[in-house]
Amino acid sequence: MSALKKYELPPLPYKNDALEPHISAQIMELHHDFHHKGYVTGANAAVEKIEKVVKGEVSGYDWAGIVRNLVFNLNGHRLHNVFWNNMGPAGSKGGGKPGGKLADLINLQFGSFDKFKQIYSELMKSLTGSGWTILYYDEESGKLTFTTVENHFINHIVDLPVVLLLDEWEHAYYLQYKSNRNAYLDAWWNVVNWDDAEKRLQRHLR
C-alpha cells in the first residue's frame, strides 16, 4: 500500500504578474499564497481531525461541522487548482476564442461564440455573494452545461468534469476592481486559457 499523502499547494503555472493588466500581481500573490494556501491547510486539518475521531482520540465531536469544514476547504483547494490552469497571459495563452471540439460544441449549442459569451456573461453576473461560475461537460447528454456555485459547494453538479471555471469571490478582484465586479468579469475573458479548457474536455469525449 502506498503512503498516505497530505494536500499540497501547487505553484502557480506562471509568474504573479503574468495576467496583468487584467488581474494584478498583488491579487495573484495574495490569492494563491494566502487564500489557496489556507484551503490546503484547512483540508489537511479536517482530514487530521477525522483521523483522530477514527482513532478515538477526540470526544464530543460534531460530524456535521467536521464534514462541512472538509468540503469547504477541499473544494476550495480543488477549484483553485483548476482556476489557475484555466488562465494564461493575454495574447499568448490567454484570451481569444476556443478552437477544437469546444468550439464545435459551443457552435452547436449556442450558434456562435459571441452568443455563448453573452449568455455565459449574464450567468456570471447573476451570482449573488461568494462563489464560482462553472462550465461542465456532461458525457451522458454529450452537451456542455453550466451553473453558478455558491460558496465552494452549493449548487455544484456532482461528477461532471469541469471544463472552465471562474472565481467570483471578493478576494479574486477587490484590490483592483473594488465594488465593480462586472469589470473583473469582463476582463477575465482576456486571460481565459482555451487550450486548457479544450484539454479538459478532450479527456471525456468518446
Q: How far is the CB of 140 from Mn ion (least distance, A)?
A: 30
Give me the residue whose beta carbon is nearest to Mn ion: 167
Smallest separation, CB 35 to Mn ion (Å)? 5
Distance in Å, CB of 80 to Mn ion, minimum: 6
Stated length of the chain: 206
- List, in order, residues 6 or more apart from 199 with CB less than 8 Å away: none
Q: Are 133 and 52 in contact (CB under 8 A)?
A: no
Does 167 interact with Mn ion (rule: CB under 5 A)?
yes
Strands of the 131-138 sheet, one edge to the other: 143-150, 131-138, 162-167
Grid-cell match 468579469, residue found: 185
User: What's the Cα-to-Cα distance from 172 to each of 32, 134, 157, 169, rounded to whole Å?
Assistant: 10, 15, 23, 6
Give the residue, chosen from 71, 169, 175, 199, that forms a contact with Mn ion under the rule CB under 5 A: 169
Determine, following the binding rule CB under 5 A, whether residue 168 of this chain makes contact with Mn ion: no
Q: Pattern of binders to Mn ion over 118-157, x per CB under 5 A? A: ----------------------------------------
Site for Mn ion in 6-45 (CB under 5 A): none
Contacts to Mn ion by CB under 5 A: 167, 169
